[in-house]
Amino acid sequence: MTRFDDHRPTWRRAAAFALLALPLLAGCDDKPDPAKPTLEQRLLQDLTPNREFKGELNGQPVHLIVHDCKVYLNEADPESTTGARRWTKVLEPEFYPSFMDCQRQSLSRQGKTVEAIIGEMAMGAGGCCATGGRFRSTNGRDWKEQ
């Protein structure tokens, strides 16, 4: 005699399934992603004196930061009605067809100019640097390679 007629109540099967599935669902909490740091937070994090320039160039106050081989200028936000400021990227190394790592970066006053030294090395390569160089600016916005 076959037991095709033996049907357990559906609720028992559902309860057994739920008990088996609960441990699997316990680790499925959706934790909110931590807030990504703003550009300003990233720029100011671990800032060292040789990576920041605050001073006057051509009689104008200038604030520059070099971070990850890119130079940023702090300037008035033209879209703001409250006088807010923003960071604008004003210098970065030329494109190189490889994954790059920043090896050298600094800012310093040189007479009436500010000098930026940036250098990136291709991953897996030796020595420095595949891109970058020594640049000077008289206003913090326009740069000339030396």
pLDDT in 10s for each residue of the chain, 146 residues: 555 555 556 767 777 777 777 666 666 666 777 888 898 999 999 899 999 999 999 999 999 999 999 999 999 998 888 989 999 999 999 998 889 999 999 999 999 999 999 999 988 877 788 899 999 999 999 999 99
User: Is the residue at 21 inside a domain?
Assistant: no
pLDDT score of 72: 98
User: Is the residue at 27 inside a domain?
Assistant: no
pTM of the model as a whole:
0.74
Which tokens is 73 given? 């200028």
User: Is the residue at 75 inside a domain?
Assistant: yes
Measured from the Cβ of residue 52, the count of other Cβ atoms closer than 10 Å reads 16
User: Is the residue at 5 inside a domain?
Assistant: no
User: Is the residue at 26 inside a domain?
Assistant: no
Residue of 106, 107, 116 lying closest to 136 (CA atoms): 116
User: Is the residue at 100 inside a domain?
Assistant: yes
Total domains in the fold of the chain: 1
User: Is the residue at 20 inside a domain?
Assistant: no
Question: Which residue range forms the structural domain that includes residue 99?
Answer: 39-145
Residue of 123, 89, 119 lying closest to 105 (CA atoms): 119
User: Is the residue at 96 inside a domain?
Assistant: yes
